[in-house]
Amino acid sequence: MADIFELFKQISKDNSGAAGAPTHMIVGLGNPGKDYAETRHNAGFLAMDKICASLGCECQRVKFKAFTNTVKIGDKSVLLMMPQTYMNLSGEAVGEAASYYNIPAENIIVLVDDIYLEPGYMRIRKKGSAGGHNGLKNIIEHLGSDNFPRIKLGVGAKPKEADLAAWVTGRLSRAAYDLMTPCLDACLDASKLIMNGKADEAMGKYNGMKPEVKEEN
């Protein structure tokens, strides 16, 4: 795996182009590979897919042990990132990019799954502890700070008898994904508000968000 990342470093280029050097980051957390697609732990990747679709771009440039793209969002130059290190080492990618571009922790928004919220709910926090989430824990370790905003996406609590690792790497049901979709769609707008210094407005707008339940005919 290390050799692959060394190759990535050799072939990757800084393609920020017209967007300029990024001053902010939006990071979607998840595990790479088809085996983890649409699993609970990949809620951050699912949210990033929605953001990219809305912006008409893709995270496909290999840099910082991640798939990235640098885009303009309003007047901000933003590095979009999907770490490819597996969840527990997400901080390696985030920390390397933050150091390279000198991006402060408070300018890094992390999109992450939350087992303490049911599907259809989201919660925005300006900063805070990892709350038991290993991806957040590793990011805090590599940044040396927990002073970064995060958008938590509910994936549902594990059944009492279930193994936690198996639960978070289990696939979302279609019903759960449908409930989550409005939250995934809202991540871009919430990120814009946060980047424009309106985190409180984002929290007021989305922390009380209720799931849309479709009625069956």
Q: How many CB atoms lie within 10 A of CB 49?
A: 17
Please confirm, yes or no, whether 41 is among the known catalytic residues: yes
Residue 37 DSSP class: T
Q: Are 124 and 151 in contact (CB under 8 A)?
A: yes
Give SS3 for 212. Answer: coil
Distance CA 105, CA 60 (A): 24
- What angle do helix axes 43-55 and 174-195 make, rounded to 10 degrees? 60
Q: Which of 24, 41, 133, 142 is catalytic?
A: 41
Active site residues: 41
